[in-house]
Structure 1
Amino acid sequence: MATDNNRHNATNGNQDYLEKDFSNNNGNYHMDNPNTSNGEALNRIRTAGSISISPELFEKLYLSPQNAVKGDLRKTFGNPTPVALLGFLLSLSPLSCDLMGWRGAGGNGAAGIGSYYFFGGLLMMLGGFLEFILGNTFPFVVFTSFGAFWLTFAATLQPFYYAYGSYSTTGVEADGLATVGFTASFGFFLVFMGVLCLIYLICSLRTNMVFVVIFFTLVLAFGLLAGAYWQNAKYIGNADAAAGALAGRLQIAAGACTFVTSMAGWWIFFAIMLAALDFPFQIPVGDLSTLIKGASEKQKAKENMV
C-alpha cells in the first residue's frame, strides 16, 4: 500500500492540486487517490466538504484560472459555462455562413434575429450572471458583454426599434440600411467591439489556447466588418464600384474569421461537456493557467522565500 501511494505521489510530482471549493479546509478530499473505488468516489463527491480538482480541469470547466471563493455554490449549482457558450455558438455559427454568402445566404444575418435574442442574448446573459454568482469574474464579463452584443445586433435589425428606419429618406424603413449614415455609424460600434475583444485576448493568455484563438479571430472579424461597412458607405455615397467590391470581400473575410471562432468554440464546448460528464477520454484545450503566474502567486512565492 505504501509503495502504491509513493508511486502515485511520484507520478503527480507531489503536487497538491488547488481545491475547487475552499469553504471547508478540514473536509477536503483528493479525488485522484488511486485506492478509491468508483462507488466510494461518487459517495465522497456527494458528501465531502470539498472536491479537489486540478487547476487545468478547473480552467477547462469554468474558462477562468482557479480562484478562492466563499460558500458552497459551486457544489450547489451546475456549471453555467456551456450554456453561455451554446448561446454564443448557435448565434455566431449561422451568422458566419451568412457573411460568407454560402448557398445564397445574406441580408446581414437578419434571418437569425430570433436566435440572436434567445440564444445569444438570453442564454449568454443567464450564463454570465450565474458565473457572477459563482465568483467567476472573467467569464461573467465576457458572457454578459456578448449577450448585450447579440441583443443590440438583434434590436438593430428589428424594425420596431427604428435603428435604420430613421436614416431612410424614402419613407421605406428598409431603405435606411443602404444609407451612408447608417452604414458609417454602425461601423464604429464594430470597431469598439474589436477593442473590447483585444482586451479579452490579452486577458485570455491566462486561460487556454482555444480561448486565445477565439478572441484573436474575433478581433480580426470585427475589424474586417467595420471596414466592410465603411467601404459600403463609400460605395453608397460615391457610387464607387471598387469600394463596393472591396466591401464584399471584407465581409467574406470577416465571415471566415468568425467561422474559425465558431469551430474553436465548438471544440471547447465539447471539451467542457466531456469533462463535466467525466468521460474516459478528454480533448485538450491548451491550458495556459499555470504558464503565466498571477500577481498573487508571485507575491506568495516572494513571501515564502523570505
Structure 2
Amino acid sequence: MSQIASIDVQSIAAAAKPKLANPAAVGLAGFGLTTFMLQIHNLGLAGIGPVVYLGLFFGGLAQMIAGLQEQKCGNNFGYCAFTSYGCFWIALCAVLLGNKFDVFKSSETDVGWFLVAWTLFSSILWVGSMKVHKAMFATFSTLMVGFVCLDLAHFGAPKELFTTIAAIDLIACAFLAWYMMAGVILNDLWGRPVLPMGKPVL
C-alpha cells in the first residue's frame, strides 16, 4: 500500500512539474540569422551596421543566454556551442567597433588568427556533431568549410574569391541552423517528427 501511495505522489509531482522550453530554438535562431546577415554584408549587399547590432544582441547575448539555459537541461554540447558562439559574435563585434573607433585595433593578420582559433575550436564540436544527428553534422561541416575559407582569405589566398565562397557556404550553414530551429518548434507543436534530423553519423 505504501508503495502505491509513493507511486501516486511521484506521478502527481511529475504531472505538476512544468514543461521546460528547448533553449536551442533561440540559440539556433540567433546563430542562423546573424550568420546570414554577415554573409549578405560580405557579398556586398548590405552595410555592417545590422551585423554589429545583431551580433551584439541576437547572435551574441540571446545565443549566450540560450547556451546557459542548455546547462540546466544537461546538454553539454548545446551549453558549450551556444554559449561559445554567442561570445564569438560579441567578440567579433567588439573587434569591428575597436577598428572603427581606434581602440585596440586589429590588423588583417590579427583577425586571421582570431578566425583560425575559432576554426580549431569548432573542429572539436564538428567531431561531437557526428554523435548528435545528420542535420547538426551538416551545419557544423558547412561552418568548418566557411571558417577555413575565411582563414585562407586572411592569409594570402585571393580575398574576394574565398570570401565569396565562404559567404555562399555560410548562408547554407545559416539555413541548416534555421532548419533545426524549425524542427525544434514544429516537431514539438505537432507532437511528432515533422522535420526529420536524421540519425547520428557515428
TM above 0.5, yes or no, is yes
Q: Distance in 1 between matches of 2:51 and 2:70?
A: 26
1:81 aligns with 2:18: no
Residue of structure 1 aligned with 2:128, choices 196, 200, 203: 203
Structure 2 gap ranges (5+): 1-6
Aligned to 1:248: 160
Q: How far off is 1:281 after superposition?
A: 6.2
Aligned to 1:65: none
1:92 aligns with 2:57: no
The answer to whether the 8 A contact 1:94-1:112 is kept is yes
TM-score normalised by structure 1 residue count? 0.58
Aligned to 1:193: 118
Q: Distance in 2 between matches of 1:264 and 1:95?
A: 16
Q: Distance in 1 between matches of 2:59 and 2:103?
A: 26
Aligned to 1:284: 196
Q: Distance in 1 between matches of 2:138 and 2:114?
A: 22
Aligned to 1:265: 177
Q: How far off is 1:183 after superposition?
A: 0.2
What secondary structure sits across from 1:148 in the alignment? helix
The answer to whether the 8 A contact 2:133-2:197 is kept is yes
Q: Distance in 1 between matches of 2:182 and 2:22?
A: 14
The answer to whether the 8 A contact 1:156-1:164 is kept is no
Aligned to 1:226: 151
The answer to whether the 8 A contact 1:85-1:265 is kept is yes
Aligned length: 195
> Cα gap change, 1:110/1:194 in structure 2, threshold over 3 Å: closer, same or farther?
farther
Structure number with greater CO (CA < 8 Å, separation at least 6) is: 2
The answer to whether the 8 A contact 1:121-1:147 is kept is yes
Q: How far off is 1:111 after superposition?
A: 3.7
* Runs of 4 or more above 4 Å deviation: none
Structure 1 gap ranges (5+): 1-25, 28-43, 51-71, 168-175, 232-242, 293-306
Q: Distance in 2 between matches of 1:270 and 1:203?
A: 22
1:101 aligns with 2:44: yes
Aligned to 2:59: 120
Q: Distance in 1 between matches of 2:190 and 2:13?
A: 18
Q: Distance in 1 between matches of 2:80 and 2:192?
A: 32
1:154 aligns with 2:154: no
The letter of the residue matching 1:165 is D
The letter of the residue matching 1:275 is N
Q: How far off is 1:145 after superposition?
A: 0.5
Q: Distance in 2 between matches of 1:166 and 1:94?
A: 25
The answer to whether the 8 A contact 1:195-1:219 is kept is no
TM-score normalised by structure 2 residue count? 0.85
The answer to whether the 8 A contact 1:100-1:253 is kept is no
1:129 aligns with 2:57: no
Q: How far off is 1:146 after superposition?
A: 0.1
Q: How far off is 1:49 after superposition?
A: 2.5
Q: Distance in 1 between matches of 2:100 and 2:125?
A: 28
Q: Distance in 1 between matches of 2:192 and 2:150?
A: 41
1:139 aligns with 2:68: no
Q: How far off is 1:128 after superposition?
A: 0.5
The letter of the residue matching 1:182 is S
The answer to whether the 8 A contact 1:120-1:150 is kept is yes
Residue of structure 1 aligned with 2:102, choices 155, 160, 165: 165
Q: Who wins on radius of gyration, i.e. which is larger?
A: 1
